[in-house]
A and B are shown apart, each in its own frame.
Chain A
Amino acid sequence: MSGGVTIHVIVNGRARDLEVDVHALLLDVLRDGLDLKGAKRSCDTQVCGACTVLVDGLAVSACTYLAVEADARSVLTVEGLAEGESLHPLQRAFVEAGAVQCGFCTSGMLLTARAMLAENASPTRDDVLHYLRGSLCRCTGYRKIVDAVLAAAETVR
């Protein structure tokens, strides 16, 4: 069954009325409808975290999240993480720590970490490891990503 519905959603701080199919996935609406390509499609099964965005501050897998569920909610993608030209402390920490390699997992990692810091401003290394269980990286070996998240947490505090 298909059919269009209008959802009202705030994307990266901007209110939008979007016409979407009832079965459309949030990931496709963001990437194809709004040209926000930062969230990546990879496993399609909520395992890898490459498509992670924040909905009302909570990390969700946009690959398995219906766009209609975002109605009347606020969505943050990696494109909305920086404030103008000023990078978010997480983004700066990722650059400086060498936590970015191919970059395909990076936007999901950043948003997952941001959701964690909103919940827990002083995470331990184990807290970070636990939180990142839903975010796969095949390049870095994770150490530099965890270091970057911990460094950013200090900056944010």
Chain B
Amino acid sequence: MSARPLRVVGQPVPRVDALEKVTGRARYVTDLTVPGMAHAKVLRSPYAHARVKRVDATRARALSGVFAVLAGADLTWCDPYYGPAYRDRPVLAIDVARYEGEPVAAVAAVDEATAERALELVDVDYEPLTAVMTLEEALAPGAPLVHAGQPPAGHFADLSTLRPQPGTNICHQFHFARGAAAAALTGADVVVEDAYRFPSVQHVALEPHAVLAAWDETGALTLWASTQNPYSVRVELAKMFDVPLARIRVVVPHLGGGFGSKTYAKLEPLAATLARVAGRPVRLAASIPEAFQTVRRCASRVMLRVGFRRDGILVAVECDADYDVGAYADIGPRVVQKGTYTATGPYRVPHVRLEARAVYTNTTPGGAFRGFGVPQLAWALESLFDVAADRLNRDPVDLRRQNFLAHGEEFAPGDTPIDGKLEESLSRAAEAIGWTRASAADRGRGVAAMLKASVAPSVSEAIVRLHADGSVTVLASAVEMGQGARTVLAQIAAEVLSVPLDRVTVVQPDTAVTPYDQTTSSSRSTAMTGRAVQVAAEDVREQLLAIAAPSLGLAARDLALADGAVVAASRRLTYAEALALRFGMSGGELIGRGVIAPGRTAAPLGGSTPFWEMAVGAAEVSVDEETGAVRVERYVSVADVGRAINPLTLEGQDEGGVVQGLGHTLLEEMLYADGHLLNGTLLVYRVPRADDAPPELECRFVENADGSGPFGAKGAGEGSLIPVSPAVANALARLTGVRLRELPLTPERVWRALRARSSRT
């Protein structure tokens, strides 16, 4: 069978769920109701660190319309701890509250107003304790400990080597080295070094976390949850309640944005616990301020030393990175080690020493957020690249090009060879921004590059069903959270089986129905889940060919699929006819199965990334010298995606990544003072608005079909965000001569830096 031109894959078709979304018919968790449903509210700690001496719920329980009131001490009938790295997080604070906003008690009542009134009747005696709010405070000798003991490990193979430092707030240390970095830096002609800080920021998915939990009469649990990984939620709940996996069903309706905030169990354990005690279904819908008290990006302080030879060759990188993972580890340890592992970016570096620490503080738990630890490091490395270019008197674009890893070159022994062409992305970005042309006097340009690994090992499974009328059902558990997974999976199945897109239905994730998928994150859904769907569809294709071959009097290898039929030179057998042949009646279906499970490898993190995500960003900025306000006038992102399965949705995803990146670059930072979060509402926490986006924004793609995913695709969606901060800061430095090392680049910080520069000259 010869390769035929692609029909649906590669087309910018509108998303398959667009119609239900523009008509208001798309259902999200909080749009669902079930009979007898109760409403939950959560009482949260007003202290960053406090002993919970007593919770008295007597008055709350007596209130009419209250079905259940729970505190940590009540959770004796289940294992109340959960967490993917360490099982360090109680459903409700037990003895100690470790951050402001930690759930201390919860109520299920007939309606939200009654639940809120009941919360006011819960009496809690707190004894405030000294809190550690920053990396410096948490790492100081003799600092109060956020966790006194050693919590048990969670459930991931790549985290089986968690290395806490007992007696400190360090919950994980990562170390990676090759060559002799210290000696190489001593011998380097130019060494640039500095500490770069990245703020705590919140995802601000417009839909806050929400769960509807219901136990049935047989003791089985169903949750409708706003989660990016129903299977991780399932395993957490199975452990907590000692229930077989098969008896926990996690259904994921439409998600109102995720960006990492809805990975791993968040409010699901609390909703399930309340529902069990209340004896009825419980809906727990968080507010935006509660989302700020649920998860955030890990703030960081990255000290980087980078050594070059006089001719521009990069010889060594030393990195000491500290990440603030907040009060509970969540997936922070993996953020830290995966991010730091690629601290050398997309460059060839013979001598490397990388150290990172995940540090507990008394703040909102830090976890996954688009970029997963890499934005923090790229901020440092890509800024220092420009500093080095100045010192070496080199063009920043040329210096990067000189040091890029080549296609096919090993990133680290045992890991996946580089599967893209960085120089192509860089050249296209530089050309699009007009790098070699003089910019206007009041404009500056900057570039930055990135490389990121996807999670490994990881597993995706899919089932494709071909029905008697030739229509297709795809069962897969990639969560549609806005990124377009459902559309891309439909396109892949439609392509392999040669049916129109509207003949394919992708079922929403439901652990009772759709097969295992590890997580919708790490830019993996197109490459991994999509590949599983492709394999499952090919399984169906092989079955069709085997059925049709005897009927058409040809060998299966001489047949192909086209327009809903098995075809040979002049003959065709429709899918309906093929199924009728197979089953002897007009029923039955063909079921194809796809399993992508690369397993563990000798790579440093225990698995080889299925693809490298690589992208380049180029910014053109202006600055108001009176106010320090930076404006990104133009931005170009070029991502090496292998193949754009859907250029329209991919472009949308990357444009959104750039603007989200502008958030932490120019606007966003969770600010704490005296143990309190100052800006945990959208009134005061400013995310980019329409008029904050660059007036000119272009997202382009390098497509060489060199990825391991379906049709040569790689993962995408995080790459556009990561270069934004250094590209903008590099542009600002080239325009003004000031170099900032702390994000966001607020008007005040920029203004002060400009003023300091003026006073020097």
Contacts and interface: CB of A to CB of B under 8 A. Distances in A.
B652 A101 contact: yes
A43 to B, nearest CB: 4
A114 interface: no
Given A98-B649, A102-B206, A105-B206, A37 B288 contact: no
Contacts of A77: 24
B256 A140 contact: no
Given A37-B27, A77-B24, A138-B660, A48 B682 contact: yes
A106 B681 contact: no
Interface residues of A, number: 52
A129 B690 contact: yes
Nearest to A85: B23
A95 B690 contact: no
B656 A139 contact: yes
Nearest to B205: A138
Given A106-B21, A133-B691, A141-B659, A98 B15 contact: yes
Contacts, number: 168
Nearest to A102: B482
Interface in A99-143: 99-107, 110, 128-130, 132-133, 135-143
Contacts of A37: 24, 27, 31
Contacts of B651: 98, 144
A79 B652 contact: no
B484 interface: yes
B656 to A, nearest CB: 4
A79 B24 contact: yes
Contacts of B255: 102
B259 interface: yes
Contacts of A128: 690
A5 interface: no
Given A40-B256, A79-B24, A102-B255, A141 B693 contact: yes
Interface string B285-311: 101100000000000000000000000
Contact of B656 (A43, A95, A129, A141): A141
A45 B689 CA distance: 16
Given A43-B681, A45-B683, A103-B17, 12 more contacts: A37-B27, A38-B24, A40-B28, A101-B484, A101-B653, A103-B21, A104-B207, A104-B257, A106-B22, A130-B691, A132-B690, A137-B690
Interface in A16-64: 31, 36-45, 47-48, 50
Interface in A59-77: 77
Given A133-B691, A142-B693, A100 B207 contact: no
B501 interface: no
A77 B651 CA distance: 29
11 contacts: A38-B23, A77-B24, A94-B22, A98-B652, A102-B256, A102-B257, A110-B22, A129-B690, A138-B205, A143-B697, A146-B690
A141 B658 contact: yes
A41 to B, nearest CB: 7
Interface in B501-538: none
Interface in B231-270: 254-259
Interface in B684-725: 687-691, 693, 697
A15 interface: no
B26 interface: yes
A78 B23 contact: yes
Nearest to B646: A98
A144 B23 CA distance: 18
Contact of A45 (B30, B681, B697): B681
B589 to A, nearest CB: 31
Contacts of B658: 141
Contact of B690 (A82, A98, A135): A135
Contacts of A135: 690
Given A47-B683, A91-B22, A42 B693 contact: no
Contacts of A150: none
A96 interface: yes
Nearest to B663: A138
A100 B205 CA distance: 14
B423 interface: no
A50 B682 CA distance: 13
A42 B26 CA distance: 16
B14 interface: yes
Contacts of A95: 14-15, 18-19, 22
Contacts of A79: 23-25
B281 interface: no
A31 B30 CA distance: 10
A103 B21 CA distance: 5
Interface in B649-682: 649, 651-653, 655-660, 681-682
A39 B24 CA distance: 8
B682 A43 contact: yes
B30 A41 contact: yes
B691 A129 contact: yes
Nearest to A47: B682
A54 to B, nearest CB: 13
B14 A138 contact: no
Contacts of A48: 206, 288, 682
B258 to A, nearest CB: 8
A140 B656 contact: yes
A145 interface: yes
B15, B22, B31, B285 interface centre (most CB from chain A within 10 Å): B22
Contacts of B27: 37
B80 interface: no
